[in-house]
Copies of this chain bind each other. A is one copy, B any other.
């Protein structure tokens, strides 16, 4: 899937962008043996046996170190003078005059010296293509002399909500209306993955309207995500619209999972369409399971970009046999131990529980639930909490 072109951008703007090519070191780092501290370069053997009670006077010279009792004043990053093999830190020497320094701490060969190539060897791959650039990667690239890098263009993801009952936030509602919340949630999830989210608005449950709006999404974006209008039942307007738009159309519809069972996946005009449930919780889980891996693949990122941990389940949970269950939990640390507290779900589209949970666990399809105390893998979508936040 080489859909995303490369763009060259300033290193200063590259945080969280995905690098498009392997970065190979063009030089050794350090480029020569150099001092890691401010101090005095010496032959290490000059210092053997010295101590606070037995200090030694060394002659300060400028050039190479020839004699056993010579030292060269040196600053962090300076090349080690010829003949020297260690550096005494400034605070372990006392300059008596311009020509003499007294030292009282022995050094071994190599002490306080950064060896040529010890950090990076010329020819080594230092950052692999498909790496999302974090601050430490930027530092490494800067050290190698880069001021600009090739990154992948941000994927554009168009997000459409469908449903007669839906209205934009902030409007006064009639009793038939519900505020549409999926677009802001899904757009935020897209942005967190480094995508540009394109708002396709809200459409009514009307086949023609849905079809033409998805078509618009296909024209301006790399991926189209819809919510609502899919139920693996009678009223499957969105899958119908996807099929109308071209071949192969819908390739998967209905997944043995819970929530997000009515999710459908399609391909039209060589672009993926992800048809999510209108239920915000199901839409969020469907995004995590289907849209996120797709986006990472498009960005050529080899990992799943997860924050995960093992935690003790604080209470028993049940699930439906034959369905893989994604259960929201609040994961927290207490006295150095990790716990996962299942968020109590009372209804079908519980926004408030989404706000209390910071992760989810997966209950396999061959289990009817999990006992309290079981060690489970939690996938975090927000920071780890503290006990007091429960």
Contacts and interface: CB of A to CB of B under 8 A. Distances in A.
Contact of A307 (B178, B186, B384): B384
Contact of A163 (B15, B77, B114): B77
A29 interface: yes
A3 interface: no
A165 B78 contact: yes
**Size bracket of the A interface:** 35 or more
Nearest to A92: B233
Contacts of A118: 346-347, 350
A383 B130 CA distance: 13
Interface stretch (A242-250, A317-325, A351-359): A351-359
B234 A184 contact: no
Interface in A210-267: 228, 231-235
A310 B338 contact: yes
A8 interface: no
A309 to B, nearest CB: 4
A366 B357 CA distance: 36
Contacts of A233: 89-91
Contact of A351 (B120, B306, B348): B120
B377 A115 contact: no
A61 interface: no
Interface stretch (A52-60, A133-141, A268-276): A133-141
Contacts of A180: 142
A175 B310 contact: no
A206 interface: no
A341 interface: no
A119 B385 CA distance: 22
Contacts of A350: 118-119
A69 interface: no
Contact of A134 (B181, B188, B351, B388): B188
A307 B309 CA distance: 9
A163 B36 CA distance: 13
Contacts of A89: 231, 233
Interface in A69-88: 75-79
Nearest to A95: B234
A51 to B, nearest CB: 18
A187 B15 CA distance: 10
Interface centre among A38, A142, A284, A310 (most CB of B within 10 A): A142
A126 B355 contact: yes
A348 B112 contact: yes
A155 interface: no
A233 B389 CA distance: 43
B307 A176 contact: no
A312 to B, nearest CB: 11
A135 to B, nearest CB: 3
Interface in A304-348: 304-310, 333, 336, 338, 346-348
Interface of A: 11-12, 15, 29, 31-32, 36-38, 75-79, 89-91, 112, 114-115, 118-120, 124, 126-127, 132, 134-140, 142-143, 145-147, 163-166, 169-170, 173, 175-182, 184-189, 191-192, 228, 231-235, 278-280, 284, 302-310, 333, 336, 338, 346-352, 354-355, 357, 377, 380-386, 388-389
Minimum-distance CB pairs A-B, first 6: A135-B188, A91-B233, A309-B309, A77-B165, A36-B348, A147-B170
Given A78-B176, A136-B354, A308-B309, 6 more contacts: A31-B175, A37-B348, A115-B346, A124-B352, A138-B184, A143-B351
